Chain A
Amino acid sequence: MKTDVAIIGAGINGCAIAYELAKRGMDVAVFEKKWIASGDTGRCGAGIRQQWATEENAILAKKSVEIFEKLGEELNYDIGLRQGGYLVVIHSEEEMKQAKKNVEMQNRLGIPSRIIYEDEIKEIAPVLDLDGMEAIAATFCHTDGHANPFKTTYAYALAAKKLGAKIYKFTEVKGIKVKDNQIEGILTDKGEIKANFVVNAAGAWSGWVARMAGVELPNRPVRKEALVTEPIKRTFDCMVISFKHGIYFSQQEEGQILGGIPSPEEKTGYYFEPTFSFLKHMAFMLGKYAPQLKHIKILRQWTGFYDVTPDALPILGKTSIEGFIQCNGFSGHGFMISPMVAKLISQIICGEKTALPIDNFSIERFKGKIFKEKAVVG
Chain B
Amino acid sequence: MKIVCRCEDITEEEIIRAIDEYDCETLDELKHILRLGMGHCQGRTCLIIAARILANKKGKRMEEIIPSFRPPDEPVEVGIVGKE
Q: A interface vs B, CB < 8 Å?
A: 35-38, 42, 150, 154, 169-170, 229-230, 254, 274, 279-287, 293-302
The answer, among B22, B32, B78, for a CB contact under 8 Å with A286, is B78
Judge if B59 is at the interface, Cβ distance under 8 Å: no
* Interface pair A154/B33, CB less than 8 Å apart: yes
Does the CB pair A295–B78 fall under 8 Å? yes
Structural contact, B42 and A300, CB atoms closer than 8 A: yes
**With an 8 A cutoff between CB atoms, is B11 at the interface?**
no
A299/B75 in contact, CB under 8 A: yes
> A279 and B72 in contact (CB under 8 A), knowing A35-B28, A154-B33?
yes
Contact size range, B: 20 to 34
Nearest CB in chain B: distance from A171 CB, A: 12
Within 8 A of A (CB), among B39-58: 39-40, 42
Closest-by-CB residue of B relative to A285 is B82
Are B35 and A254 in contact, with the CB atoms below 8 A? yes
Q: Evaluate contact between B82 and A286: CB separation under 8 angstroms.
A: yes
Asked if B81 and A280 make an inter-chain contact with CB atoms under 8 angstroms apart, the answer reads yes
Tally A-B pairs: CB < 8 A. Answer: 76
Quick check: B25 and A287 within 8 Å, CB to CB?
no
Task: Give 20 new A-B contacts, CB below 8 A, not counting A37-B32, A297-B75.
Answer: A42-B32, A154-B33, A170-B25, A279-B71, A279-B81, A283-B82, A284-B82, A287-B79, A294-B78, A294-B82, A297-B40, A297-B76, A297-B77, A298-B75, A299-B39, A299-B42, A299-B75, A300-B42, A300-B70, A302-B70
Are B71 and A301 touching (Cβ within 8 A)? Answer: yes
Residue B29 interfacial (CB < 8 Å): yes
B32 to A295, Cβ gap below 8 A? no
Chain B residue numbers with a CB within 8 Å of A169 are 23, 25
Let me know if A287 and B32 touch, CB within 8 A: no
Task: Provide 29 A-B residue pairs closer than 8 Å at the C-beta atoms, listed in order of the A residue.
Answer: A35-B29, A42-B32, A150-B32, A169-B23, A170-B25, A230-B75, A274-B70, A281-B82, A284-B83, A284-B84, A287-B82, A293-B78, A294-B77, A294-B78, A294-B82, A295-B77, A295-B78, A296-B78, A297-B77, A298-B76, A298-B81, A299-B38, A299-B39, A299-B75, A300-B38, A300-B42, A300-B70, A300-B71, A300-B72
Query: Given the complex of chains A and B, what is the CA–CA distance between A346 and B37 in angstroms?
Result: 37
Question: Chain A residues with Cβ under 8 A from B22's Cβ?
Answer: 154
The residue from A170, A294, A301 contacting B72, defined by CB atoms under 8 A apart: A301
Most buried by A among B39, B70, B78, B82: B78
**Chain B residues near A286 (CB-CB < 8 A):** 78, 82
Q: Chain A's nearest CB lies how many Å from the CB of B66?
A: 13
In the assembled complex, how far is the CB of residue A41 from the closest CB belonging to chain B, in whole angstroms?
10
Q: What residue in chain B is nearest A257 (Cβ atoms)?
A: B78
Nearest opposing residue in chain A for B42, CB measure: A299
Kindly provide the distance from the CB of A300 to the nearest chain B CB, expressed in whole angstroms: 5
B77: chain A residues within 8 A (beta carbon):
294-298
Measured CB to CB, the closest approach of chain A to B25, in angstroms, equals 7
